[in-house]
Structure 1
Amino acid sequence: MNRIVRFLKTEPVLCVSAAAALLSMLLVPPSPAYWGYLDFRVLSLLFCLMAVVAGLQSAGVFEVLSQRLCLRANGVRALSLILVLLCFFSSMLITNDVALITFVPFAIGVLGLTGQQELLIPVVVLQTVAANLGSMLTPVGNPQNLYLYSFYEMAPGDFFSLTLPLTGLSLLLLVPCCLLGKERHLTISFAAKANVTDRRRALLYGVLALVCLLGVFRLLPYQAALAAVLGCMLLWDRPRFRAVDYGLLCTFVCFFIFVGNLGQLGAVRALVSSLLQGRELPASALISQVISNVPAAVMLSSFTGDARALLAGTNIGGLGTLIASLASLISFKFYCKTPGARPGKYLLVFTGVNLVFLLILLCCAQLMIS
């Protein structure tokens, strides 16, 4: 029973998606047609990207980057800006959740080392916002982008013409927020200098990252990218298989089944399509607040052809509540483990900052799309 409760706490979205898939099977019994529901391209590339990022992380690449950047900070404002922008820019390539897993604990350690614990809540909150917004730029920045880019077969120009302005605006909003605090001089020193622990592994996964990007942009068959990643891991780095988030992959499979079964019900499809028509942007942002943006993207994609509105809505919809983007839970859990943590104050600051960003970006996105 304890294991079941622990699993429910660690994989809530997977449990909900599995329940939805099972309920939908009562309406549309399992058949060979289920195979047609699954987007093997998305599943394969998602696996590849998670494996590659785990490989680079295990080689110490991100630790070296973050330590060298922070050593350049000579004041509190500069330090806050570096810690936040690390999440913003890195999430474009390593996804928002991995950026937070990597850089939030680093930020907590650095702020404790320099005696700046009072900055902990604002910095971690802004890191979370930065990771969710920076990941919006690229198809590989977060799972919903990869899915929507593949599902709608978007051209790179169509994708970036929407995400680039929104990401640029996000950066313009983030930078002043990082510079609001009172300036204080500080000197940063680390007990040990970070180094790349395995240069061969770093080079291997760097090459595989390029292969994955070629697969994402359809310059290389996704099957070739999958074969390259699997082959290299089997030959030289089998432990990295354990670092892949199989729960996320299973969540996608469950939602593919759920949405595929709903699509077989003509009345349901017609109803949802009519309610969604012309309201994709606010609807997807609103639904993301309740079920998070990845499931919202998968669920709504089968009922609308407006890729741009759904792309903007689910990305901006990652702001707002703590569960709007599940990556936000990562930061919250890390913060709650710090000595003297004040979860209530964190949630208050988090919600206030997120709502401001959400409203501003939603208004701008509506103007762009209309």
Structure 2
Amino acid sequence: MMREAAEINERKEGDGLAAGAKQKAIGFFRREPVLVISFVCAAASMAFVPPSEAYGAYFDWKVLSLLFCLMAVVAGLQECNVFAVFCQRLLTGRKRMGLLSLILVLLPFFASMLITNDVALITFVPFTIVVLSMIQRRQYLIYLIVLQTIAANLGSMAAPVGNPQSLFLYEKFHLSAGGYFRLMLPFVLASLVCLAAAALLVKNETIQVEFSARETIKHPKKLCLFCGLFALSLLGVFRALPYPWALGAVVIALLLWDRPLFARIDYGLLLTFLCFFVFAGNMGNIGEVREFLNSLLERSAMLTSLLASQVISNVPAAVLLSGFTQDGQGLLVGTNLGGLGTLIASLASLISFRYYLRLEGAKPLRYLGVFTGLNLAGLAVLTSLALCLSLW
């Protein structure tokens, strides 16, 4: 009897461990779905192209290094509470609802140009939820959160540092800073006009915004340090400084003054890039795949990358398709505009959706309906502009 009881307990413990492992696996997939998918794709591609010394040529270490620098610096600026202080001072006081809506939408639009679209949403979406709840205007939550998401995805295309695919393509095709800005400026301006018009559609009543506690800058000395490191990182991006110098400065600064910040860097994104480098490199060595993608990209790199982004999101689309065409400008426009559309077209969109789902009384189907409608409208406008510019 005692032996049977022990065996039953062991089975229960084993079942408990298995259930715990399953829950951890499910939790990890929910946190890092693209990393898991990219790993599976990379592993599957190795069955067709076995690992060899040629794999070393797949990786773009400059892009990975600069991404690391930018993520570290932005995390440091968040630690100093810079963005919260700026938001609070900008929004406090007596305002018209239309102006408040415009500010909330344009904050992530302009911020994403330098701190990336995902960081902009992590910073400003929770702030918007607090503000709208405080002034009892929660009826605008879905509309403004969706507009903020679109704003972050579109504003981030204004500069190479705004999102990972832009930085990758900027380096991959050795685009000049002037050429980049000239290419993307029409789309940025059109996005700004459309977003401003959409933001002003709310009822323009007078409201009072007052915060219970005043936000202040934390760690002023560190703030100066991170501003300097951000400047060095930008110099590395625009090729005014060798990227190893920027990487070395960031790593040494963190080691000396802020080691805990290493834990706040998004290593999942870096690993995702590594996996897709392997996958894209291996796909390029499979003749049938190479010919198929070449045929699509020869017709239109912009439209191919835009449509691919709807299915696999714009960062993987940029990495995968970059090995099959020399039309870097087409890929740049396609993957940036392709951030609009489906919920997974830009992974930053999932950040806003998760924040909304945490709210009491959340209506996910309504959110998805508004999200899809506004995204498709924006995508139609900007795609039409891209086609007109290519014809002109």
TM over 0.5: yes
Task: Give 1:215's aligned amino acid.
Answer: G
Where do 1:124-203 residues align within 5 Å?
Answer: 124-203=145-224
1: CA distance, partners of 2:311 / 2:283:
20
1:307 Cα deviation after fit: 1.0
Please report how far the alpha carbon of residue 16 of structure 1 lies from its aligned counterpart in structure 2 after TM superposition: 0.9
- Indicate if the aligned counterparts of 2:154 and 2:337 stay in contact, CA closer than 8 A: yes
Aligned to 2:293: 272
Q: Distance in 1 between matches of 2:34 and 2:163?
A: 16
Q: 1:156 deviation in Å?
A: 1.0
In the alignment, which of 82, 86, 91 is matched to residue 61 of structure 1? 82
Which SS does the other structure have where 1:175 is aligned? Answer: helix
Within 2, Cα distance between the matches of 1:220 and 1:118? 48
Find the counterpart in structure 1 of residue 72 from structure 2.
Answer: 51
1:29 Cα deviation after fit? 0.9
**How far did 1:75 drift?**
1.4
- Distance in 2, matches of 1:81 and 1:72, equals 15
Partner of 2:46: helix, strand, or coil? helix
Query: CA RMSD for the aligned pairs?
Result: 0.9
Corresponding position: 1:293 with 2:314: yes
CA separation of 1:214 and 1:320: change in aligned 2, threshold 3 A: same
SS of the residue aligned with 2:227? helix
From 53, 58, 66, the counterpart of 1:37: 58
| CA positional deviation for 1:24 | 1.0
Amino acid at match of 1:346: Y
The answer to whether the aligner puts 1:328 opposite 2:352 as a matched pair is: no
Q: Secondary structure at the match of 2:208?
A: coil
For structure 2, the residue ranges without an aligned partner over 5 or more in a row are: 1-21
CA distance in 2, matches of 1:146, 1:81: 28
Which aligned runs of 4 or more in structure 1 are off by greater than 6 angstroms? Answer: none
Unaligned runs of 5+ in 1: none
Work out which of the residue numbers 231, 237, 243 in structure 2 matches 1:222.
243
Could you tell me which amino acid in structure 1 is paired with residue 371 of structure 2? F
Tell me, what secondary structure is at the counterpart of 2:175?
Answer: coil
Q: 2:95 is paired with a residue of what secondary structure?
A: coil
Which one-letter code corresponds to 2:345 in the other structure? Answer: A
Q: 1:89 and 2:110 equivalent?
A: yes
Superposed CA offset, 1:86-116 (max 9, x none): 1100000000000000000000000001111
**Alpha-carbon separation, structure 1, partners of 2:267 and 2:315:** 15
Contact kept in structure 2, 1:137 and 1:163, CA below 8 Å: yes
Letter in 2 for 1:282: L
1:141, 1:352 → 2: CA distance? 24
* Gap change, CA 1:72 and 1:35, over 3 Å in 2: farther
Question: What is the distance in 1 between the residues matched to 2:125 and 2:186?
Answer: 26
1:72, distance to aligned residue in structure 2 (A): 5.2
**Per-residue CA shift, 1:232-268, capped at 9, x if unaligned?**
0000000110111100000000000111111222342
**CA deviation after TM superposition for structure 1 residue 161, in Å:** 0.8
- For residue 187 of structure 1, give the secondary structure of its aligned residue in structure 2: strand
For the 8 Å contact 1:46–1:143, the answer to whether it is kept is: yes
Q: CA deviation at 1:71?
A: 1.5
**Which of 7, 26, 35 is 1:5 aligned to?**
26
Which letter does structure 2 place at the counterpart of 1:88?
F
Name the counterpart of 2:256.
Answer: 235
Distance of 1:238 and 1:368 partners within structure 2 = 48
AA aligned opposite 2:144: V
Distance 1:363 1:73, change over 3 A: farther
Q: Is 1:247 paired with 2:268?
A: yes
Structure 1 window deviating more from structure 2 (259-268 vs 34-43): it is 259-268
SS at match of 2:225: helix
Find the aligned partners of 2:229 and 2:137 in 1 and give their Cα distance.
39
Q: What percentage of aligned pairs have identical amino acids?
A: 54
Shift of 1:73: 5.6
Aligned equivalents of 1:50, 1:241: Cα separation in 2? 10
CA drift at 1:369: 3.0
In the alignment, is the contact (CA less than 8 A) between 2:94 and 2:206 conserved in 1?
no
Q: For 2:345, what is the secondary structure of its paired residue?
A: coil
- 1:246 maps to amino acid: Y
User: For the pair shown, which has the larger CA radius of gyration, 1 or 2?
Assistant: 2
